[in-house]
Amino acid sequence: MTDTNAQSVNSLAQLVAGTVIGNGDVLIERIANLDIARENEIAYVDGEKFFESAQGSEASCLIVPREHPDLTSHTLIEVDNPKLAFSIIGAVLHPPKHREPSVHPAAHIAETADIALTAYIGPGVCVGNYSHVGAATRIEAGVVIGDNVVIGADCVIHPNVVLYDGVTIGDNVILHTGVCIGADGFGYVRDRMGYHKFPQIGTVVIEDDVELGAHTCVDRAALGRTRIGRGTKIDNMVHVGHNCDIGERVVIAAQTGISGSVVIEDDAVIGGQVGFGDHTRVQSGAVIGSKAGILPGKIVRPGVWWGIPVQPLAEYKKMNAHLGRLPQMRDEIKELRAEVEKLRKRLAEE
Amino acid sequence: MTDTNAQSVNSLAQLVAGTVIGNGDVLIERIANLDIARENEIAYVDGEKFFESAQGSEASCLIVPREHPDLTSHTLIEVDNPKLAFSIIGAVLHPPKHREPSVHPAAHIAETADIALTAYIGPGVCVGNYSHVGAATRIEAGVVIGDNVVIGADCVIHPNVVLYDGVTIGDNVILHTGVCIGADGFGYVRDRMGYHKFPQIGTVVIEDDVELGAHTCVDRAALGRTRIGRGTKIDNMVHVGHNCDIGERVVIAAQTGISGSVVIEDDAVIGGQVGFGDHTRVQSGAVIGSKAGILPGKIVRPGVWWGIPVQPLAEYKKMNAHLGRLPQMRDEIKELRAEVEKLRKRLAEE
Amino acid sequence: MTDTNAQSVNSLAQLVAGTVIGNGDVLIERIANLDIARENEIAYVDGEKFFESAQGSEASCLIVPREHPDLTSHTLIEVDNPKLAFSIIGAVLHPPKHREPSVHPAAHIAETADIALTAYIGPGVCVGNYSHVGAATRIEAGVVIGDNVVIGADCVIHPNVVLYDGVTIGDNVILHTGVCIGADGFGYVRDRMGYHKFPQIGTVVIEDDVELGAHTCVDRAALGRTRIGRGTKIDNMVHVGHNCDIGERVVIAAQTGISGSVVIEDDAVIGGQVGFGDHTRVQSGAVIGSKAGILPGKIVRPGVWWGIPVQPLAEYKKMNAHLGRLPQMRDEIKELRAEVEKLRKRLAEE
């Protein structure tokens, strides 16, 4: 979805510390999948099972692991991690959309707001009082930014994102369409008449290098702050409740729901449609399978977890095996019954 | 929510190949439910169990199945499928909102964009470079359309929808509020430092006659395209991951999540809150119950499926029956124990 | 996120019918958590287990239950319900953002729309024909309001909310970012060619004192109306299908999905990620745990419910205990087998 910037195999190889085999002067315009890549395109070979398709590929260049069979028909770039190299090369050949620094005349910028000269502000964007937009940050159409918001440098804020008052966004953050940061947490006190809103006057901090998928919501803390740590990647329609503390390099798949005051430590990996009760803690090194459910207050230790309520994958599998044997257990009980009956009769006869 | 266009029973009956019994000149203004319909309103009788309420209905006309008891007090339209006839008549009596073809002065249309003369473009709408809006298509307020987007004829794009660059939308498509088409898929490569974005430079194709519910997100393919087939209907807040291929006339209920590279073949029916692991395939003729979970790579064959992980409904029910008998099994084991003990004692005595 | 309005302890105590112990002239500027509260801040002590931290708190004033240990180092406000008092005081010290009554010049208001003089209408807001916005209501940027919409007094409609034609919103309602009210329900009739849209021409009524979380969607009724009762609070990304009737003071946590024609009676409490089949009824006094699944047509009686499909919590726990004992049952069957075998052999010997 971006202009391509053709480069030689040699210069691409340099980007990824790769070794060129063959003609390094070949010009590459685009990345492509192994099976459909054509002239001037580069593909990657992600392990042994793709060696055969690699032979027949029409790509002008292949990114291959250091150990590979003879592929002399192609120009190659040998690297340690072909998929990673492909990603790095893809980012260079297909750089994100460029916007000339400018503030669209139909944007609504508060007089006290501070917009970097190199930022792009699209049509219909609102920026509130005392808010700051950093250098080279791109704010697309329809984004609404409240008062006292800080947005770092090199961010991409896609259309119709909403940042409530007082929220802080780091550098190099990508927020997809409809992301909502800083809406009130869900907290009430019940009295005789009904529910009274518990104050939601804290804030949200999104650290550097975070990417949030479309329509993901991160609620403001009641008091204090909700945090998404550096380098964390969150998919579409994830709910992050008030006062959560999500660590660095955490990955969370789509539609997962995280109740209030949950702590997820660095490098955890969370599947899709997982549900977290409040005040749970996920320790660094934990991997939680999709659709799992975690009861309030639970501590999830390192390892792979599964099920509702969540349990170690090994135990989950054992339990499932037991369940699978239920019909057999039933039959065994029936047999035993018959056997015992027979024995009793024989004893009675004697 | 629309103006009504009164019509005679005779002309309505023609639309649905129905047989009029009674006074075909009666004028009908609105559709209504059987129990609250009044003069100048038409209701439908959806099978035997509604025959009694039909007798007492105050509707001016009833749509009834070919076989029905005596309802001579009412004007009737006999048809093969009353609910379908009611839908068709409803669409005629309550046509979708009409907008005069126009481009609102507060819309932002790129100079290279191509807007059909009969299209409606609301306030605040953005249309990017080289994008196309087809004949009689209605784009409501706040919609953001990127560059190189193609939208067919007779579409309704509700407020605040976002179409990223390069997306293609067919004819007669309805996108409800907040729909997001073409955000980056969720793909990263891990290295020592953290996660590196895998290129997301593919596209999305939405074919003719598709309807997508509010806030549903369809991610762009990494490479290649994500597809929603002709006539498919998707409810609110459904997540469709990168590179999915959803066939024709598929129905997907609310909040279902579909991971990357899933294939759902024509005419499948998917409940709400279902979760699909990546690379699963749902075959034509499969029906998947709400809240089911499908493990990555699974092939779901024709038939009705249920549970986490998904299994044929018959097996799911059998398993549930086994579970329900667990307390009884426990008791039986206890009894057997006592019995065996007794036998042992008797044998010991002898 | 709001300006603070300092008040004396005495005047705050009056608001909550509290008894001041100590210096009632102390000025309070902000609420804070017990552990981080400082000078001019007020915190609350929510029961016995916080008495110790209360001793060491640096807050200028503590809200405490009527029964409490000696805390003479602090100025106290004694009340019946400290958390409730804290909420009420918080709302006074941190009032919601104030907007001067005005209609932004970049708003698009239909000539036939009726906007109260004390209302605030932000930039880019659209208000359709014959729609009404009540006194002191605040409509933030990018909100799109269709035709014939009624919005009561003292509401806060956050950015990018969309209200389809004909929807009614009561007084004192808060709608967070991206809320969508009145999109078409998900109803189709299948014929040979595919799916035909069932008419969705009903409406939605949101009663007074309701709060809806970010991206929550409430669909329009097919015929008739969908209703959210007075004082009900709904979290982020909840789906409410067509023709649902949600009662008063109901609480629904994030990502729950409610199919068409579901009835939830007053004062029910519903967890997150719950799924309701259509035509279910939840009776007043029912509490449904997170991730539960309710089969279509089910009646959920008062009490606590859990699981998929939903069952009384006590039964769910019993069932889980049975499951936990499966390995033991297996062992017992094995032992019995051995025992019976032994008996048989002995009998054979005799």
Digit-coded pLDDT (tens) for A66-121:
998 888 888 999 999 999 999 999 999 999 999 999 999 999 999 999 999 999 99
Residues of B in contact with C318 (CB under 8 A): 327
CB spacing of A90 vs B199 below 8 angstroms? yes
Which helix H or strand E contains B203, and what residues bound it?
A: strand B203-206
The set of residues, in sequence order, having a beta carbon less than 8 Å from that of B250 and lying 6+ positions away, is B229, B232, B233, B234, B264, B265, B266, B267, B268, B269, B270
Give C147-176 pLDDT, tens digit per residue: 999 999 999 999 999 999 999 999 999 999
Rounded Cα–Cα distance for residues C327 and C290 (Å): 28
pLDDT class for B345, splitting at 50, 70, 90?
A: confident
Minimal CA separation from B186 to chain A, in Å: 6
pLDDT greater at residue C20 or residue B322: C20
Rounded Cα–Cα distance for residues A102 and B166 (Å): 23
Burial (CB count within 10 angstroms: exposed 0-12, middle 13-18, buried 19+), residue C24:
middle
CB spacing of B191 vs A84 below 8 angstroms? yes
* pLDDT surpassing 70 at residue C1: no
Give B74-131 pLDDT, tens digit per residue: 899 999 999 999 999 999 999 999 999 999 999 999 999 999 999 999 999 999 999 9
CB spacing of A215 vs C215 below 8 angstroms? yes
Minimal CA separation from C287 to chain B, in Å: 20
pLDDT of residue B2: 41
The tally of CA atoms less than 13 A away on the side-chain side of residue C205 is 13
Closest CA to C90 of C21, C2, C160: C2
Tell me chain A's radius of gyration from C-alpha atoms: 28
Residue pointed to by tokens 């038409």 = B42
Residues of C in contact with B42 (CB under 8 A): none
Q: Please provide the average confidence, as pLDDT, over all residues in chain B.
A: 95
Neighbours of B296 (CB within 10 A): 14
CB spacing of B198 vs A233 below 8 angstroms? no
Q: Please provide the average confidence, as pLDDT, over all residues in chain A.
A: 95
CB spacing of C142 vs B124 below 8 angstroms? yes
Token pair recorded at residue C138: 């605040």
Minimal CA separation from A251 to chain B, in Å: 9
* pLDDT surpassing 50 at residue A2: no
* pLDDT surpassing 60 at residue B133: yes
Rounded Cα–Cα distance for residues B33 and B51 (Å): 14
Q: What is the ipTM of this complex?
A: 0.94
Tell me the percentage of chain A whose pLDDT exceeds 70.
99
pLDDT of residue B4: 54
Of the partner residues A90, A323, A337, the one whose CB lies closest to the CB of residue B201 = A90
pLDDT of residue C3: 46
Interchain CB contact of C293 with A (< 8 Å): no
In A, residues 239-268, which contact C (CB 8 Å cutoff)?
A: 239, 241, 255, 257, 259
Give A112-149 pLDDT, tens digit per residue: 999 999 999 999 999 999 999 999 999 999 999 999 99
Give C203-260 pLDDT, tens digit per residue: 999 999 999 999 999 999 999 999 999 999 999 999 999 999 999 999 999 999 999 9
Residue C266 backbone dihedrals phi, psi, to 5 degrees: -50, 145
The set of residues, in sequence order, having a beta carbon less than 8 Å from that of C334 and lying 6+ positions away, is none
Q: Please tell me the CATH code under which domain C7-93 is placed.
A: 3.40.1390.10
Rounded Cα–Cα distance for residues C123 and A117 (Å): 23
Closest CA to B115 of B140, B129, B133, B138: B133
Of the partner residues A106, A231, A291, the one whose CB lies closest to the CB of residue B108 = A106
Active site amino acids of A: 242
pLDDT greater at residue B44 or residue C320: B44
pLDDT greater at residue A46 or residue C142: C142
pLDDT class for B172, splitting at 50, 70, 90?
A: very high
Residue A270 backbone dihedrals phi, psi, to 5 degrees: -120, 130
Residues of C in contact with A336 (CB under 8 A): 333, 336-337, 340
Same fold, C7-93 and C102-313: no
Query: Nearest-CA residue of chain B relative to A238?
Result: B239
pLDDT of residue C339: 86
Residues of B in contact with C199 (CB under 8 A): 31, 86-87, 90-91, 94
Every domain of chain C and the residues it spans: 7-93, 102-313, 314-350
pLDDT of residue A3: 46
Residues of A in contact with C141 (CB under 8 A): 108, 126, 144
Into which CATH architecture does domain B102-313 fall? 3 Solenoid (2.160)
The set of residues, in sequence order, having a beta carbon less than 8 Å from that of B127 and lying 6+ positions away, is B107, B108, B109, B110, B113, B115, B121, B133, B139, B145, B149
Minimal CA separation from A193 to chain B, in Å: 33
Minimal CA separation from C191 to chain A, in Å: 33
Mean local confidence (pLDDT), C54-68: 93
Minimal CA separation from B36 to chain C, in Å: 9
Mean local confidence (pLDDT), B186-201: 94
CB spacing of B253 vs C259 below 8 angstroms? yes
Mean local confidence (pLDDT), B313-332: 90
Residues of C in contact with A322 (CB under 8 A): 323, 326-327, 330
Of the partner residues B195, B273, B336, the one whose CB lies closest to the CB of residue A231 = B195
Give A317-327 pLDDT, tens digit per residue: 998 888 888 88
Interchain CB contact of B231 with C (< 8 Å): yes
Residues of C in contact with A277 (CB under 8 A): 290
- Could you tell me the pTM of the whole model? 0.96
pLDDT of residue B182: 98
Rounded Cα–Cα distance for residues C14 and A275 (Å): 41
CB spacing of A108 vs C124 below 8 angstroms? yes
pLDDT class for C4, splitting at 50, 70, 90?
A: low
* pLDDT surpassing 80 at residue C350: no
Of the partner residues A191, A201, A339, the one whose CB lies closest to the CB of residue C90 = A201
pLDDT of residue A70: 85
pLDDT of residue C344: 84
Interchain CB contact of B160 with C (< 8 Å): yes
pLDDT of residue C341: 87
Interchain CB contact of C53 with A (< 8 Å): no
pLDDT class for A1, splitting at 50, 70, 90?
A: very low
